[in-house]
């Protein structure tokens, strides 16, 4: 958002520089810039906050390379400006699981936290100094981590495989990298949306049962959880579930 705001301010500076027919631009030139130029005028503390911010973007403009790199066909391109200000970054491998995902927002948020290893699993809580048992609350066999909870836990594994059977998917891998690779391939197929939604809602369902076991000492049967996931998918995308 900060970078996008800078790009938007540069668009306003472009207007001051080249859109002399605009009424607000005429007002800026008449009362503030006067006989000077936008790139040489001295900014005064008497100016409004927003106008000072706009004129101060002259430094960003020089660092980027001038108007010629920000324009397309003599028109300002806020998209090109944003990309130049942001810089080049490699695309994250899990983008297919988050972008264009029609699952519930809270389900996508839990999945995103899981992909970032930012869920408050007991292995992380213990590192924060929280006095708690690190054993998985669902299977009671191994220490709880994001990788164990969603892929190695017997309870979670039964939910995954039952859901895949219901949706006629191949057995899902216990390796997160493999799931991401499958999602990337499935996203290009007709039923790819269904696979991505299933992964997302299953993540959320397992997380809910984990919390229910810890805080309420109750956990639903696998079959009930699977039906709930199928229902959530059907509500948000009924044509896919058919």
Of 162, 178, 157, 170, the closest CA to residue 229 belongs to 162
pLDDT tens track for 14-65 = 999 888 788 999 999 998 988 888 888 888 888 999 999 999 998 888 888 8
Left if phi > 0, otherwise alpha if psi is -120 to 50, otherwise beta: which for 78? alpha
Q: Rounded to an integer, what distance in angstroms lies between the CA atom of residue 160 and that of residue 173?
A: 9
pLDDT mean across residues, the chain: 87
pLDDT digits (tens, 9 = 90+) for 60-102: 888 888 888 888 778 888 988 898 888 888 888 788 788 888 8
Token pair for 103: 């699952």
Tokens 């300002």 identify what position? 76
Q: Which of 238, 160, 168, 145 is CA-nearest to residue 199? A: 160
DSSP character for 169? P
CA 190 to CA 172: how far, in whole Å?
Answer: 19
Express each pLDDT in 103-120 by its tens digit: 999 999 999 999 889 999
32, 47 contact by CB (below 8 A): yes
pLDDT above 90: percentage of residues in the chain: 45
């Amino acid at each position: 958002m900060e970078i996008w705001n800078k790009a938007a301010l540069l668009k306003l500076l472009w207007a001051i520089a080249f859109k002399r027919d605009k009424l607000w631009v005429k007002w800026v030139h008449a009362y503030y810039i006067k006989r000077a130029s936008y790139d040489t005028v001295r900014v005064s503390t008497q100016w409004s906050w927003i106008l000072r911010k706009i004129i101060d973007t002259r430094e960003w403009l020089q660092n980027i390379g001038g108007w010629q790199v920000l324009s397309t066909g003599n028109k300002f391109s806020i998209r090109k400006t944003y990309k130049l200000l942001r810089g080049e970054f490699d695309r994250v491998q899990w983008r297919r699981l988050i972008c264009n995902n029609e699952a519930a927002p809270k389900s996508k948020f839990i999945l995103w936290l899981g992909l970032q290893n930012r869920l408050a699993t007991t292995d992380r809580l213990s590192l924060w100094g929280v006095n708690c048992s690190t054993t998985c609350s669902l299977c009671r066999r191994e220490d709880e981590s994001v990788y164990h909870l969603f892929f190695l836990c017997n309870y979670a594994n039964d939910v995954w495989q039952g859901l895949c059977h219901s949706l006629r998917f191949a057995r899902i891998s216990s390796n997160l990298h493999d799931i991401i690779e499958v999602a990337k391939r499935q996203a290009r197929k007709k039923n790819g949306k269904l696979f991505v939604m299933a992964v997302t809602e299953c993540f959320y369902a397992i997380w809910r049962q984990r919390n229910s076991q810890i805080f309420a000492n109750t956990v639903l049967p696998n079959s009930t959880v699977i039906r709930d996931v199928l229902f959530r998918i059907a509500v948000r995308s009924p044509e896919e579930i058919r």
